[in-house]
Amino acid sequence: MQYKLLIESDKAVLYSSAGSVARWEVETQFFRGKRQVALLSESGHALLFSNSGSLTKLLIHRFPFLTEQNLSIESTGDFA
């Protein structure tokens, strides 16, 4: 099964062919002059990343069914 993470300016949604798998609020932070993005879940868990490579690794760790081969990341707005 293929999965797609769509990141927009205020939300991120992980989709599969069956529908949405997970949703987060998006917050952008700057630390030592570098942009970092936090995906905040309703349960209070956060995924903090600075680029799509680190986000991919975080998502694969968090969701064992994801792999680099079945996950694509698309972004719009500030993240494009």
Length, in residues, of the chain: 80
Q: Would the CA dihedral through 27, 62, 49, 9 be positive or negative?
A: negative
What are 7-52's pLDDT values in tens digits? 998 999 999 999 999 999 999 888 888 888 889 998 888 888 888 7
Q: Following DSSP, what letter does each residue of the chain receive, concatenated?
A: --EEEEE-SSEEEEEETTEEEEEEEEEEEEETTEEEEEEE-TTS-EEEESSHHHHHHHHHHH-TT--TTTEEEEE-GGG-
Element (H, E) at 34: strand 34-40
Q: For the residues 68-80, what does the mean pLDDT come to?
A: 82
pLDDT at 80 over 80: no
Q: Where are the domains of the chain?
A: 3-79
**Predicted pLDDT at 29:** 81
